[in-house]
Structure 1
Amino acid sequence: MSAPVLLPGATLGVMGGGQLGRMFVHAAQVLGYRTVVLEPDATSPAGLVAHQHVATGYTDAAGLAELASVCDAVTTEFENVPADSLRTLAERLPVAPAAAAVEICQDRAAEKRHFQRAGVPCAPFATIEAEADLAGAAGLLPGILKTARLGYDGKGQVSVSTPAELAAAWQRLGRAACVLEKRLPLALELSVIVARGRDGTIVSLPLQQNLHRDGILAVTQVPAPEVTPALAAEAVGCAGRLAASMDYVGVLCVEFFVLADGSLVANEMAPRPHNSGHYSLDACDVSQFELQLRTLAGLPLVAPRLHSAAVMLNLLGDLWFPGDATLPRTPDWGGVLALPGVALHLYGKTEARRGRKMGHLTVTAPDAASARTTALEVCRLLGLAAY
């Protein structure tokens, strides 16, 4: 549908109540928008800070009708919101990103095929939907077997080296539809976050270099210390091409691998702001969440400018349980906040659990070396692994 420009004072809705929704709500409120969150958890991080919380499931007809009745436009904060719910909402008001684009990102097989259609390189892969598919996929071994749907932060993934391991892993994953990706020699990981407006305008955040541990993002560095300008331009171009090929409106993150030979392959997309872009709240003049707001409201898009070098450290619930501790303790926030350029963001989650994303911490500095030095001191104080 044709969508009007929504100026401050309008009401913006978000499907999902996690930390990404919380940071979107904060960005919208800073600019004077009302906010509504649809999320079943009564104590969700986003629901607790929004003007209104519709506490229903994502497919609840009454909840969707209520959200549509009070909002001028709706976005989503995680990729597994049911696409049919987004379609239902889109019959009554603007929704960005659209259900069709979100649906592609919800299925790894569909996502890989879309990479191919858009001319963006990705790892060789095969889909496994039945036992008969296992033999044909064995030529890609050694590889990574991933569930086609609902995998994130390393979940739903198994490293396999032999046909027997492949068969056993598929059984262990419940014989669900899967994608087997050929294991490639990786040099580093990076991500690109682009925002695409209704008129096709595309802007991007500065490219991020990322370090994952156990499948979960641990460290993001900007500027990316090991990425050449040519490689950065290639990655940004690929991300923009993917957004345009889906007629995407919103913020899109594309994660890439840089191989040992220097070539670039796409790993996966997220139709939303991304953990690796959180540094933009403190190091850029326009954050990824303001970009999300601007694309949803139809406001002009401006290219974010990096005003400080930055290191972002993910804070998992493990910090509350040092060593073999069974009872949580508060990390040394006082110590880290005494350091220059440190910004702490906690997500308002009511319970710390190992592996749960509880917050992030950004270190900004005039140059990358100074940011790294302070970030390593933060790691020492909190007991995080150095990088």
Structure 2
Amino acid sequence: MSAQDRDTRVILPGATLGVLGGGQLGRMFAQTAQAMGYFTAVLDKDETSPAGLVSHHHIRSGYEDPQGLAELARLCAAVTTEFENVPAGSLNRLAESLPVSPAGSAVAIAQDRAAEKAHFVKCSVPCAPYAVIETPGQLAAVNDVLLPGIVKTARMGYDGKGQVRVTTREELNTAWEQLGRVPCVLEKMLPLALECSVIVARGRDGTIVNLPVQRNLHRDGILAVTEVYAGNLPATQVEKAIAAARSVAIGLDYVGVLCVEFFVLTDGMLVVNEIAPRPHNSGHYSQNACDVSQFELQVRCMTNLPLTQPRQHSPSIMLNLLGDLWFKNSSEARSPAWDQVLALPGCALHLYGKHDAKRARKMGHLNITGATPEAVRATALKAAAILGIEPF
């Protein structure tokens, strides 16, 4: 069988699907794949990883371990990833023997902010003015028009990590030193009104579908609330966000689920922030509010099953559940009042099976659905009050 025939054949339920990474995204992927009739295998060295605990096979090795990768390839009919910092080389190695989505080439771009920005420019998708800083000479050459700005490490940054806000050249110089003089990107700070994201899924045949545009609220660099319903953003912004997200995916020749995050400026302009080559926190609402979730789209992409346009059947709000909630009014971790939350209509609790609650650690999420956006918001605010989440 040729590589093209291998990669384009339909993989039906009964086969084993693999995922690199054992976190909550891998767990929800595995649970969805299993519900569709697939077996699952996880490669993650943590013996208590959320995905490993629920999968048929758990290969306990690092992402670059040759034996672990060989075992994953032996077990699986196709492989995906749940973590953007999985080495692109490992994906390329697996792709020598079985279908892998997304491709290592696309993940490599998502792993490097400089390459990511260059891709946005190539796709004619607006992004914040920026400069790449890899050498003292490039640092000295930064145009003052980019200040105030945010210095971000080019690699390994997520959930607000590896970022420093700067207002002067002195602060810029100090920030680069604090970040270890690693390659960075300086982005000009823009007047933000809000943030949103679009999740697209693209098959090997070029078929592309998307979830509705998600309106997002971040706190301390971590997603806190996602609101999705008709009218959550003006129609023109919705159309532009979807078109831009599709353009980014097509430009990458992407196969799989991709999240494209945007800033909405005070003048209504959209600028792309970053991409995540996997399902995304802001798409979790789709588990309860859509007829096809982002995780089912992930399964369909990697198995070449048909991609159908998801339909949102209910307005929805997603609340992120961080480990801080376990420490409300207590120095020791205590389980929140889930019974009170689940007494509210339309609340669906998703916990990730993590043994230890830690502050700022993603422990789960709460999806709230209802007949109207107003009803959903009222319920979500009641749930937030019970849990001790700041109102929004």
Q: Tell whether the structures are fold-level matches, with TM greater than 0.5.
A: yes
Deviations 1:16-39 (A, max 9, x none): 000000000011000100100000
How far apart are residue 223 of structure 1 and its match? 1.5
* Alignment equivalent of 2:249, drawn from 243, 261, 279: 243
Tell me if the contact between 2:320 and 2:365 (Cα under 8 Å) persists in the aligned partners. Answer: yes
CA distance in 1, matches of 2:272, 2:74: 39
1:193 paired with 2:199, answer yes
1:378 paired with 2:383, answer yes
1:354 paired with 2:359, answer yes
CA distance in 1, matches of 2:26, 2:318: 19
1:269 aligns with 275
How far apart are residue 153 of structure 1 and its match? 0.3
1:152 aligns with 158
CA distance in 2, matches of 1:54, 1:78: 16
**TM-score, scaled to structure 1:** 0.99
CA distance in 1, matches of 2:184, 2:128: 15
SS of the counterpart of 2:136?
A: coil
1:127 aligns with 132
Deviations 1:169-212 (A, max 9, x none): 11111111100000000011000000000110100001100000
1:284 paired with 2:316, answer no
Tell me if the contact between 2:289 and 2:313 (Cα under 8 Å) persists in the aligned partners. Answer: yes
How far apart are residue 135 of structure 1 and its match? 2.2
CA distance in 2, matches of 1:281, 1:332: 22
How far apart are residue 225 of structure 1 and its match? 4.7
1:87 aligns with 92
* Alignment equivalent of 2:109, drawn from 88, 104, 118: 104
Displaced runs of 4 or more, over 6 A: none
Aligned length: 386
1:212 aligns with 218
1:8 aligns with 13
CA distance in 1, matches of 2:170, 2:29: 45
CA distance in 2, matches of 1:225, 1:53: 43
1:322 paired with 2:328, answer yes
SS of the counterpart of 2:182?
A: coil
Identity %: 64
RMSD over aligned CA atoms reads 0.8
1:222 to 1:113, Cα distance in 2 relative to 1, 3 A: same
1:43 aligns with 48
The amino acid that maps onto 2:181 is: R
5+ residue gaps, structure 1:
none
The amino acid that maps onto 1:131 is: P
SS of the counterpart of 1:150?
A: coil
1:169 paired with 2:175, answer yes
Tell me if the contact between 1:208 and 1:224 (Cα under 8 Å) persists in the aligned partners. Answer: no
**TM-score, scaled to structure 2:** 0.97
